[in-house]
Amino acid sequence: MPRPIARVLTLLELLQSGGIRTASELADRLDVDERTVRHYVGHLVDLDVPVESVRGRYGGYRLTRGFRMPPLMLSDDEALAVLLGLVAGQREGLTTTTTGTASETAAAKIRRVLPERLRLRLDAVLRSLAFTAPPGEAGAPEFAPETGVLLPVADAVNHHRPISIRYTNANGDRSERTLHPHGLVAHSGKWYVTAADLTTGEDRTFRLDRITDVRTLPGSFEPPADLDPAERVLTGLATAPYRHEVTLRIQATAEHIHTRLPPSVAIVEELPAPDSTDGWSSVELRVDRLDWLPAVLASLDRPFIIERPEELRGLVEALADRLTHSARRDPPPPE
């Protein structure tokens, strides 16, 4: 009869905690009978795990003294994929149980048996990683960058070391840059590093999937105080150069506006409203296309004023005309 693998692994975990475990105790912990416990012990023995059977009044089962599980033989890519999967599951609430956060205990067990070199590098990734969305919302990365890029960048972030990279921008232009990396950020399925670009003398945001050939340089740097890498990524995306610059005033709070225009798209500043409890907000966007904005503005269901561009006024009026025409159409006569 096939044995449930999860319970066999749980039995091994109990025995690794040390001491002699009675058959009745193990049966209670595994929610099986004592006969099934004996079968599970036999399965571990078949896998060359040295389980001893101790006879007598206080007898039971224990692992042979001095036995330790060997290091978990995962490649850098495999270990990174497992730990990031646990982080993503925890953020989405997929690995939280009524008795605790399963992803945290699973990650701790994996880290415990990883070789120290790999464990330290993965810890650097987890310490330096930030998200632009709160847990339970979109924001966990859809893919992990190349470990040859992610691991040295994370190490440089943690130890404040400069790096040299080769970068390919959205237009396909390639360049070599020297960076002081400040933080790793996951946003909308992509990974970014915020950094001071010593090549241009500007603070920049770089996508990790466009980086190759990371080299750690000698020396160190002092990161800026009170730096928020996630906020910097959102601001950088919202202010990136695009075809159209849009300025609006909307009679709504920033929280309400961001339900349709997220911070990575729009910069919202609430304006003082001394004579009104329902104040206005200034909204700035940079977009390549305007055709999607009229429907979004209508979905906000709040008064708004278009300051620029003039082209947007015509698109809003055209949408209003289409909606009015559709609302006034009579239904077809019944057959």
**Each residue's pLDDT tens digit, 2-57:** 446 677 878 887 887 778 888 888 888 888 888 888 888 888 888 778 888 888 77
Please name the fold of domain 5-63: Arc Repressor Mutant, subunit A (1.10.10)
3-class secondary structure, 101:
strand
Map residue 97 onto helix, strand or coil. Answer: strand
- Report which of residues 98 and 270 the model is more confident about: 270
Burial of 193 (0-12, 13-18, 19+ CB in 10 A): buried
Question: CB of 283 within 8 A of CB of 297?
Answer: no
Range in 23-32, 56-65, 250-259, 296-305 with the lowest mean pLDDT: 56-65
Q: How confident is the model at residue 99 (pLDDT cuts 50, 70, 90)?
A: very low
Question: Is 252's pLDDT higher than 80?
Answer: yes
Span 133-160, average pLDDT:
72
pLDDT score recorded for residue 100: 44
169/249: higher pLDDT: 249
Mean pLDDT of 225-236: 82
Delimit the domains of the chain by residue range.
5-63, 72-227, 244-327
Indicate whether 92 pLDDT > 60: no
Tell me what the mean pLDDT of segment 146-161 comes to: 87
Strand residue runs (E) in 22-68: 51-54, 60-63
In the block, tokens 């909606």 appear at: 323
What number of other Cβ atoms are within 10 A of residue 224's Cβ? Answer: 12
Residue 272 and residue 30: Cα distance in Å, rounded?
Answer: 62
pTM for the full model? 0.52
Instruction: Report the distance separating Cα 101 and Cα 98, nearest Å.
Output: 8
Q: Are strands 202-207 and 211-216 parallel, antiparallel or unpaired?
A: unpaired
Average pLDDT of the chain is 80
DSSP for 272-331, please give it: P-TT-SS--EEEEEEES--TTHHHHHHHHTS-EEEEE-HHHHHHHHHHHHHHHHHHHPPP
- Coil, helix or strand for 189? coil
Distance CA 47, CA 41 (A): 10
User: pLDDT for 166-215, tens place per residue?
Assistant: 999 877 888 999 999 998 888 777 888 999 999 888 888 898 889 988 99
Return the CATH fold of 244-327.
Answer: Alpha-Beta Plaits (3.30.70)
pLDDT 10s digits, 47-89: 778 888 888 777 788 888 766 666 555 666 677 677 776 666 6
